[in-house]
Amino acid sequence: MYPNFYYIFKDWFGIELPFLNIINSFGFFVALSFLLASLFMQKELRRKFKNGILGKGITITKVTGKPFPVSDYITSGITGFILGFKILPILLDFSVTNGNPQEYLLSGAGSWLYGILLAAGFVAYNWYLDKKQRLETPIEKSFLTDPSHFIGEFTLAAFVGGLLGAKLFHILENLDEFSADPIGSIISFSGLTFYGGLIVGGAAVLYRAKKRGIPILHMLDVGGPAMMLAYGIGRIGCHVSGDGDWGIANTDPKPSWMSFLPDWMWSYDYPHNVNSVGVPLPNCFEPQHCNHLVPSVFPTPFYETVMALILFFILWKLRKKFNYAGTLFGIYLIMNGLERFFIEKIRVNTIMEFAGIKFTQAELISSCLVLGGIALIVFAQKKKIPTVSSPVNLE
């Protein structure tokens, strides 16, 4: 396993670069999932717009040659200070972290000198760019664009909302852990619940889309395949880092029908997992991540990656097949719910109980997703919002 990029470079290239400990494998794949999802959403927004179902275009006004606002200087200064105060010291001397970069990044430790110098440098460079672009008389230009112009705004809303939702739902699912250490639970990089991110992040995107005049049902259809892709890519991060989203113990021999596949696809011990869970690895002398699981477990993140990517390709192929908006997202909800519901049977999770019935948070939400997907398909057939109209050309 590779909890961070230090382990990747050490294993693949045989070189040790301690500062790479600050680049978490899980975080890398989460970032990659947002990037790929935004690209596919952008592509789909453009297609829908060209089909004439997202209006006639949005007028954007830009002013060039105008002095940068004070907020630009403040932002560049803060960015430079943070990089100088926290990141530069690690790059120059990783020992300042005492072998725990996460704790260092969340602490008050850092270099005030580097922070101030880099902040001044960023502000000075911003001032140079400002002076270079200024005109005696600023020029105002208006142009017509399609809704995909706002994909950066939607991605940011998904990231912030998703992170808050994932953390909130994890806290609700693990109240004992939160009660024991509220601050640590909130600021920890671990402990993120997918469905919390899906619900809150999705709501944030829909809010921004509505502000930009994009119909909700069409935006849902745009997001369905992209979210399935993001889920699959994110699960690669879970598997590679060993973040605890693995399955139950699996000591059974590998079935004969899987004989041509690597043993880890059936049962895996997640060596060097990022949570440092399990028993010590022999001959491991790293300051962290020297544990592996005994007994080995089902590698459920890998299974979910495979299933999510297959479902993404199915949804992507189906996206042009339906007459009414909302149908595609309804199918996404059903697929997502069924996939997660059944994987829960071999996955480690916190058990909840109500009226004598035991279940996991994910089982409850996935069941609601299936029912919600069915309801949305029925609603879409009654609402009859077409998915094709007169083509639009911005030229």
- Reported as a pLDDT band with limits 50, 70 and 90, residue 383 is very high
Q: Any idea which of 192-206, 240-254, 264-278, 300-314 has the lowest mean pLDDT?
A: 192-206
- Contact yes or no for 197/162 (Cβ under 8 A): yes
- Contact yes or no for 75/148 (Cβ under 8 A): no
Q: Any idea which of 70-84, 93-107, 214-228 has the lowest mean pLDDT?
A: 93-107
CA distances from 330 to 22, 179, 217, 320, 370 (A): 39, 37, 10, 14, 8
- What does the pLDDT read at residue 213? 86
C-alpha to C-alpha distance for 159 and 177, rounded to whole angstroms: 24
Selected residue with higher pLDDT from 23 and 120: 120
Which residue's structure tokens are 């100088």? Answer: 84
Q: What is the pTM of this model?
A: 0.84
CA distances from 192 to 19, 47, 341, 391 (A): 25, 33, 18, 42
Element containing residue 25 per DSSP (H, E): helix 25-50
The average pLDDT across 306-311 equals 97
- What does the pLDDT read at residue 390? 53
The average pLDDT across 200-205 equals 89
- What does the pLDDT read at residue 355? 76
The average pLDDT across 209-223 equals 92
Tally of CB atoms within 10 A around 335: 22
The average pLDDT across 81-106 equals 84
pLDDT in tens, 45-67: 999 988 888 877 788 888 899 99
Burial 361-375 (b: 16+ CB within 10 A, else e): bbbebbeebbebbee
Write out the two tokens for 59: 């007028």
Selected residue with higher pLDDT from 382 and 99: 382
CA 190 remoteness from chain centre: 13
Beta strands 291-292 and 279-280, pairing class: antiparallel
- What does the pLDDT read at residue 183? 64
Identity at 355, one-letter amino acid code: A
- Reported as a pLDDT band with limits 50, 70 and 90, residue 191 is low
Q: Any idea which of 64-78, 168-182, 356-370 has the lowest mean pLDDT?
A: 168-182
C-alpha to C-alpha distance for 113 and 94, rounded to whole angstroms: 17
> Is a pLDDT exceeding 70 seen at residue 103?
yes
Angle subtended at Cα 183 by Cα 178 and Cα 187, rounded to the nearest 5 degrees: 100
Instruction: State what percent of residues in the chain have pLDDT above 90.
Output: 56
The average pLDDT across 200-207 equals 90
- What does the pLDDT read at residue 193? 65
- What does the pLDDT read at residue 380? 95
Smallest Cα–Cα separation from 101: which of 10, 29, 189? 189
Smallest Cα–Cα separation from 235: which of 303, 289, 170? 303
Composition of the chain by helix, strand, coil, percent to 5: 60, 10, 30
Q: Is 21 exposed, middle or buried (0-12, 13-18, 19+ CB in 10 A)?
A: buried
- What does the pLDDT read at residue 184? 58
Tally of helices (H runs) and strands (E runs) in the chain: 14, 6
pLDDT in tens, 260-306: 999 999 999 999 998 889 999 998 888 788 999 999 999 999 999 99
**SS3 at position 144:** strand
Smallest Cα–Cα separation from 327: which of 374, 395, 276? 374
The average pLDDT across 91-106 equals 79
The average pLDDT across 165-172 equals 77
Tally of CB atoms within 10 A around 315: 22
Residues 6+ apart with CB under 8 A from 272: 1, 2, 3, 7, 242, 281, 284, 286, 289, 290, 291, 292
- DSSP 8-state symbol, 255: P
- Reported as a pLDDT band with limits 50, 70 and 90, residue 394 is low
Look at the chain and count its residues: 395
> Is a pLDDT exceeding 70 seen at residue 395?
no
Which residue's structure tokens are 């049962």? Answer: 267
- What does the pLDDT read at residue 185? 57
The average pLDDT across 322-347 equals 93
Q: Name the residue ranges covered by the structural domains of the chain.
A: 25-62+143-248+298-383, 67-134
Selected residue with higher pLDDT from 101 and 382: 382
